[in-house]
């Protein structure tokens, strides 16, 4: 289903797409985010807009960034965990950062080969 082009239409579409990608019902997402299922329905139909706190709770429950839900980035693959990892790796000294990057690359290669399952 193509996304709407208006900025106000992005959030409902992104929320529904992320929920469906994670194979969650509105009720399950609501439970994970600590909300009512009716709130999820209102957000997805565009009837209501979430508060900043609810936006963050939805992003955490879906393991996506708020930027994805708001349409600021186009890739759902930019998960909240990856965002946190990126922020944390910047805090390391250069030699530790290089070690961490090498380890991540090895894990990616292992996952691609099927040995990481």
Check: pTM over 0.85? Answer yes or no: no
Predicted local distance difference test score (pLDDT) of residue 33? 97
Predicted local distance difference test score (pLDDT) of residue 26? 97
CA-atom Rg of the chain in angstroms: 17
Please report the DSSP string for 61-73 in residue order. Answer: HHT--HHHHHTS-
Predicted local distance difference test score (pLDDT) of residue 3? 44
Predicted local distance difference test score (pLDDT) of residue 59? 93
Domain borders along the chain are 7-70, 80-113
Q: What CA–CA distance (Å, rounded) separates 50 from 21?
A: 20
Per-residue pLDDT in tens (0 to 9) along the chain, 117 residues: 444 445 468 999 999 999 999 999 999 999 999 999 999 999 999 999 999 999 999 999 998 888 889 988 877 765 556 666 777 777 888 888 889 888 888 988 888 887 655
Class of the domain covering 7-70: mainly alpha
Q: What CA–CA distance (Å, rounded) separates 37 from 49?
A: 14
Predicted local distance difference test score (pLDDT) of residue 5? 45
Predicted local distance difference test score (pLDDT) of residue 79? 58
Backbone phi, psi, residue 27, to 5° = -65, -45
Give pLDDT tens digits for 3-22: 444 546 899 999 999 999 99
Predicted local distance difference test score (pLDDT) of residue 88? 77
Q: Are 11 and 69 in contact (CB under 8 A)?
A: yes
Q: What CA–CA distance (Å, rounded) separates 29 from 94?
A: 39
Say how many C-beta atoms besides its own lie within 10 A of residue 43's C-beta.
24
Q: Are 89 and 97 in contact (CB under 8 A)?
A: yes
């Amino acid at each position: 289903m193509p996304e709407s082009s208006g900025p106000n239409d992005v959030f409902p579409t992104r929320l529904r797409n992320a929920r469906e990608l994670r194979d969650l019902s509105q009720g399950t997402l609501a439970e994970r985010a600590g909300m009512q299922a009716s709130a999820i329905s209102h957000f997805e139909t565009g009837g209501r807009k979430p508060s900043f706190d609810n936006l963050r709770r939805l992003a955490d429950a879906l393991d996506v960034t708020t930027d994805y839900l708001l349409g600021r980035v186009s890739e759902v693959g930019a998960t909240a965990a990856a965002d946190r990892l990126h922020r944390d790796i910047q805090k390391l000294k250069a030699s530790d950062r290089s070690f961490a990057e090498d380890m991540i690359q090895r894990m990616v290669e292992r996952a691609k080969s099927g040995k990481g399952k």
